[in-house]
Structure 1
Amino acid sequence: MSDTADPEEQIDETTTWPDLAIGLYDRLTGRNAEIVYEFEEMSVDVPSGTGDDVEHANWQLDGTVRVTTRERE
């Protein structure tokens, strides 16, 4: 990529899922965009904290999360 490229067109390399989600949201905000996540029988073990001896809560996800962006008037 050249140094003269438009910053809007530059895309940094993402290394984590949260970075990817934030990047998508930032890129689409103000463009009347919609991000839809659909989950079918997804299971997530959510830790109660950090460290070796933490407990986990098991969350079951089955449905849709919809994020809609729009410009303020």
Structure 2
Amino acid sequence: MTDGTDTKTWPELAIGLYDRLTERNAEIAYNFDDFQLGVPSSTSSDAKHAQWKLNGAIRVTTRSGAAS
């Protein structure tokens, strides 16, 4: 994903997200109330979807390894 091409796989998506978050020392927090998400099994147009249901919070934080 770092070479400017489109993301094709879940690992590429995860790596790209991690890279961007750590570059910015970002914190992202999401709160869900009866949220449903269809997660595709692949990137094909006819991929099957698993239904995920989320209630509660997800927090992603990053911290630099360097001392400040």
Q: TM-score, normalised by structure 1?
A: 0.48
Structure 2, unaligned runs of 5 or more: 1-12
Paired residue type of 1:53: D
Match of 1:66 in 2: 59
RMSD over equivalenced CA pairs, Å: 2.6
Q: How high is the sequence identity, in percent, across the aligned residues?
A: 44
Match of 2:35 in 1: 42
Count of residues in correspondence between the two structures: 49
Distance 1:53 1:67, change over 3 A: closer
Matches of 1:60 and 1:68 in 2, distance apart? 22
